[in-house]
Amino acid sequence: MYYFIIQLLKEEYLDDIMLAMTTAGIDNGTVIDGVNMDSIMDQRLPLFSGLIPEKDNRSRYCKIISSVIPDRSRAMAFLQALEDADIDFEKEGLGRALLLPGETLKGNG
């Protein structure tokens, strides 16, 4: 079992991400709205905001998408579905995809 997490920095790709997840058999995820840390630093610690590289290229907001998946192959199928749609996750600076091994402590929802 794995915990699959996507930090989507370009919200205009949300529909493509959702479609790729569904195509890969990942269908019970959670989408959370977020604010990038550099935006918070700009507001609260403006003295240090100049230390953040390439902040002008990032959106202020992001989406965190997560799902529990049974095996690594679904995450790989997700990346393949994006590639089939001519979306290069890394090259386009869409965000990050993480796959963490996990164990169920309680629940099966």
Q: What is the pLDDT of residue 8?
A: 94
- In terms of Cα–Cα distance, which of 65, 70, 56 is closest to 89? 65
What does the pLDDT look like over 30-88, one tens digit per residue? 999 998 776 676 666 666 666 655 555 556 789 999 999 999 999 999 999 999 999 98
3-class secondary structure, 80 = helix
- In terms of Cα–Cα distance, which of 95, 99, 106 is closest to 16? 95
Residues 94, 90: Cα–Cα separation, whole Å:
7
Q: What is the pLDDT of residue 60?
A: 75
Task: Specify the CATH number of the domain 2-101.
Answer: 3.30.70.120
- What is the pTM for the complete model shown? 0.79
